[in-house]
Amino acid sequence: MKELSYRPDSWDYALLFGGIIGVFLGLTAALGLGGVALTGFIGGNRETALAGEWSAAATLAMAALCLPAVYYGGGKVLGFPVGGKEKPSRRWLLLILLFPATLATGYLAYERGIVAGLLGPISHLTAAGLPVLAAVVLLRSLGPAIPQRRAWGQFLAGLWLTPAGALTLELITLIPTAAILLIGLNSSIDVTALGEMIISPDPLGSREFESVVRQLILQPWVIVIILVYVAIMVPIVEETLKSIAVWPFLRRGLTPAEAFLSGTLAGAGYAMFEALFLTQPGQGWVETMLARVGATFVHVFTAGLSSWGLVEGFRYRRWSKCVLAALAAFAIHGAWNASAVGIGLAVVAEQVGIPEAATGAWPTIAGLGALVLATLGVVSFVGPIFVTRRLTEARAGAVPDALELNPPALPRVPS
C-alpha cells in the first residue's frame, strides 16, 4: 500500500509566512537603527552610536530567532520530514555557565567603557538569551514531547505578537490613567511647565524637575494610581496576551501538561523581548540584567499558569481552576511590579533630596521590595519545574475521563 504523502495545513503556512515577515521586519529595523548608530558615530555622539548599535543588535536577534520557523514551516510545506517531537538535549543547559562571564564582559563594556561598541551588544544579547534558553530547555525536557514547529511557533508568538498587543493596550489604558493624574495635579503643579521640562534636552538635570518629582512622590494618591496601573492593569493585559500560545487550541485536544508547557514557551518569548529592549546600555547594566533573570522566570511561570487555566476551563469545564490560575498569575506579576516600583520610588526619593529618604518608611519599602523580588524569583524558578513534572506524571498515569474517552468532534492539535 502506498504511503500517503504529508499535506501541509494552515499552521504550516502560518509558521512559514510569519517567520518570513519576522525576518523582514527585524532586518529592516536593524538597518534603520544601524543608520542611527552610524550617524551618531560620525557626529561624535557616543551615546547615540551605542544606543543605535545596541538596538540594531537586538532587532537582528529577533530576526534570527525567526529562521527556525521558516525552516520548520517551509519544510512541512515542501513535504520534508522536519519538526518531530524530539526533546532538546539537556547539554544546552551547560551554556548557562557562561552567564557570569557575560556579566563581567558587560561590566567592562558599560561601566568601564572598554571596547563598548563590540563587547556591549554581545554581552547584552548573551545575558538576555541565556536565562531564556535555560528555561525553555529545562521545561521542554521535563514536559511532554511536542512538535518542534509548534514549540517555535508558540515561542515566537510570545516574542512578536504579545509585545505588540501589550504595548498597544497598555498605551490605551495609560491615557485615562495619565488624564486622572493631570486633572488631580492641575491644582498643585504647573502642568504646562512640567510638560516643557519633560521634553527639554536634559530634564533629569533640572532642579525644577527634581522639585516637581519631590512633590509627586509625597502625595499618596499619586503613588496609589501608579501602583494600580503597574500592579493591576499591566499584569491583566500582559498575562491575558501571554496565553496567546493556547488560544487556537482551547477547544482542541491540548492536554493540561501541554497547555502549561505552551504557556511557558510564550512567556519565555515575551521575557526575551523585555530583556532585549527594556534594559538600556550604560551604568547599572549588571544589576538590571541580574534582576531580569528573575523577571524571565516570573513571565515563564505566570504565562504557564494562565495558559493551563484557560485549557482547564474551555476544554474540561473546570472553571474554578481557570479563575484561580488567572488570579495567581495576576497576583505574582502584580507583586513583582509593585515591588520593583517601590524600590524605584525609594531610590528616586533619595535622589531628589527628600529628608526622610534615608530613614522612616522609604528604606523599609526598599528592603521589603527586595525581599519580595527575591522570594518571587525563587518561587518562579521552582514553580514551573514542579508544575511541569506533576502535570506530565499525572497525564502519564491518569485514566482517561469521560470527556477524553468521548471527545467532541473538533479538530485535534496539529502534530
Query: Which DSSP category does 186 fall into?
Result: T
Which band of pLDDT confidence, cut at 50, 70 and 90, is reported for residue 5? low
Does residue 72 sit within a domain? no
Rounded mean pLDDT of 187-216?
Answer: 66
Mean pLDDT of 158-167: 97
Quick one: which of 55, 4, 47 has its CA closest to 29?
A: 55
Q: How many Cβ atoms sit within 10 Å of the Cβ of residue 414?
A: 17
Range in 11-25, 149-163, 281-295 with the lowest mean pLDDT: 281-295
Give 308's contacts (C-beta < 8 A, 6+ positions apart): 256, 259, 260, 263, 325, 387, 391
The pLDDT value recorded for residue 343 is: 94
Cα 201 versus chain centre, distance: 30
Asked whether 292 and 275 are in contact (CB, 8 A), the reply is yes
* Model confidence at 406: pLDDT above 60: no
Distance of alpha carbon 264 from the chain centroid: 11
Residue 102 placed within a domain: no
Q: Chain-wide mean pLDDT for the chain? A: 88
Who wins on pLDDT, 200 or 394? 394
pLDDT band, residue 19 (cuts 50/70/90):
very high
Q: Is 49:117 a contact under the CB 8 Å cutoff?
A: yes
For residues 51-63, give the mean pLDDT: 94
Asked if 306 contacts 267 with a C-beta cutoff of 8 angstroms, the reply is: no
228 vs 252, residue with greater confidence: 228
Q: What pLDDT does 253 receive?
A: 82
Identify the weakest region by mean pLDDT among 51-65, 96-110, 204-218.
204-218
At 320-367, the pLDDT tens digits run 999 999 999 999 999 999 999 999 988 888 877 776 666 778 888 999
Question: In 3D, which of 369, 133, 387, 372 has the Cα closest to residue 268?
Answer: 133
Q: Which long-range contacts (CB under 8 A, 24 or more apart) does 48-53 make?
A: 49/117, 50/116, 50/117, 50/120, 50/281, 51/280, 51/281, 53/117, 53/120, 53/121
Q: Over pLDDT 70: what percentage of the chain? A: 87
Predicted local confidence at residue 218, as pLDDT: 77
For position 402, what pLDDT does the model report? Answer: 46
Q: For residue 280, what pLDDT is reported?
A: 76
Please give the radius of gyration of the chain, using alpha carbons only, rounded to the nearest integer.
Answer: 23
C-alpha cell at 399: 485514566
> Is 71 within a domain?
no
C-alpha cell at 66: 525567526
User: What one-character DSSP code corresponds to residue 225?
Assistant: H
> CA-CA distance, 98 to 328, in Å (whole number)?
33
Whether residue 357 lies inside any domain: the answer is: yes
Rounded CA separation 122/118 (Å): 7
Dihedral (C-alpha) 32, 37, 43, 46: value to the nearest 10 degrees? 160
Lowest mean pLDDT among 36-50, 234-248, 298-312: 36-50
Q: Are 126 and 98 in contact (CB under 8 A)?
A: yes
pLDDT in tens, 260-279: 999 999 999 999 999 999 87
Residue 258 pLDDT more than 90?
A: yes
182 lies in some domain: yes
The reported pTM is 0.92
Q: What is the pLDDT of residues 374-389, one digit of tens each?
A: 999 999 999 999 999 9
Residue 409 CA to residue 160 CA, distance in Å, equals: 32
pLDDT of residue 372: 97
Asked if 124 and 281 touch (Cβ cutoff 8 Å), the reply is yes
Q: What is the predicted pLDDT for the residue at 269?
A: 98
Q: How far apart are CA 177 and CA 240, in angstroms?
A: 20
Q: What is the pLDDT of residue 204?
A: 54
Number of domains making up the chain: 1
Q: Containing domain of residue 371, as a range?
A: 150-395
pLDDT in tens, 299-330: 999 999 999 999 999 999 999 999 999 999 99
Q: Is residue 168 part of a domain?
A: yes
Compute the distance between CA of residue 341 and CA of residue 269 in angstroms, rounded to an integer.
23
Closest CA to 135 of 15, 317, 269, 246: 269
Q: What's the half-sphere exposure (Cβ side, CA atoms, 13 Å) at 191?
A: 11
Q: Is residue 180 part of a domain?
A: yes
The answer to whether the CB of 237 falls within 8 A of the CB of 170 is yes
In a domain, 370, yes or no: yes
Residue that wins the pLDDT comparison between 84 and 369:
369
Q: What pLDDT does 292 receive? A: 94
